[in-house]
Amino acid sequence: MMSMTGLGCQSAPKNRVIVLGMIHSGHTSSDVYSLEVLREAIIEIEPDYVLTEIPPDRIENANSSFAETGVVDEARVNRFPEYTGVLYPLTREMNFEIIACAAWTREMAQDRQEKLDLWSTERPVDTMEVENAQYLIEIEMAEKGDPNDPMYIHTDGYDELVRQAMEPYNRLFNDDLGPGGWDNINKAHYALIEAALDEHSGEGKTILITFGAWHKYWFLDRLRKRDDIRLIDPRSFFE
């Protein structure tokens, strides 16, 4: 018979965490990462919780509209086909909780766009450096693989290219953009992700994180430092 001391020494089971990079509207046109491909991957993952790029103040409206009409009519959510065409419909077949982890607000997005538009004329050198960096990396991505292929998206090489692409944007604009800056918004997103992971730590569940693919490296840098989760390679669900 196991002693009570032995029971007390047992460590809490680690949650399995899968970070899936989304391509948003690309899911409706890509053959290799279509909505159906994404749907099959999520079915295979069998998540208990899905941490989404949905703001906390929009989740209730999205949930209620889908429950009442079968359509997500929340504006911030229905711009993402991965949610309207896959995730919400799957709630009728599977048992998982959707958790809102996006820190974006309408005001933040508007302020960012206004500043970037202004800087295109007031800070042309900075703007050109930012745009060139992203353009050149997109070319390099296309040379190395299909940037819409989940088998390519979910690699360290892809993440390193994104990191390089966003370095000038982050260095030149992050502080001046305030909450909408690259590091700043990712910190805010991750704070919500971290809160959800902390709340469900030790449950031995499967947690899926779905954000735009270019956010992925930022989250993984921090997730790899946690000792209460087990990161799972997403490619195993697309093979």
Which pTM does this prediction carry? Answer: 0.93
pLDDT in tens, 26-40: 999 999 999 999 999
The domains of the chain are located at 14-237
DSSP 8-state symbol, 130: H
pLDDT in tens, 149-193: 999 999 999 999 999 999 999 999 999 999 999 999 999 999 999
The enclosing H or E element of 229 equals strand 229-231
Average pLDDT, the chain: 94
**How do beta strands 97-100 and 49-52 pair?**
parallel
Instruction: Give 239's pLDDT tier (boundaries 50, 70, 90).
Output: confident
Could you give the CA distance from residue 193 to residue 96 in angstroms, rounded to a whole number? 16
Instruction: Give 9's pLDDT tier (boundaries 50, 70, 90).
Output: low
Residue with tokens 């460590």: 11
Structure tokens at 141: 């991505």
Structure tokens at 195: 């809160």
**Mean per-residue pLDDT for 71-95?**
94
Structure tokens at 181: 């800056």
pLDDT at 24: 96
CB 82 within 8 A of CB 210: yes
What does the CA dihedral 68, 24, 192, 157 come to, rounded to 10 degrees?
150
**Mean per-residue pLDDT for 69-95?**
94
Instruction: Give 1's pLDDT tier (boundaries 50, 70, 90).
Output: very low
pLDDT at 75: 87
**114 vs 74, more confident:** 114
- Residue 15: pLDDT above 80? yes
**How do beta strands 15-22 and 49-52 pair?**
unpaired
Kindly write down the DSSP assignment for every residue of 158-170, as one continuous string. HHHHHHHHHHHHH
The count of other CB atoms within 10 Å of the CB of residue 111 is 15
Instruction: Give 140's pLDDT tier (boundaries 50, 70, 90).
Output: very high
Three-state SS at 17: strand
The enclosing H or E element of 216 equals helix 216-223
Non-local CB neighbours of 137 within 8 Å, separated by 6+ positions: 161, 162, 164, 165
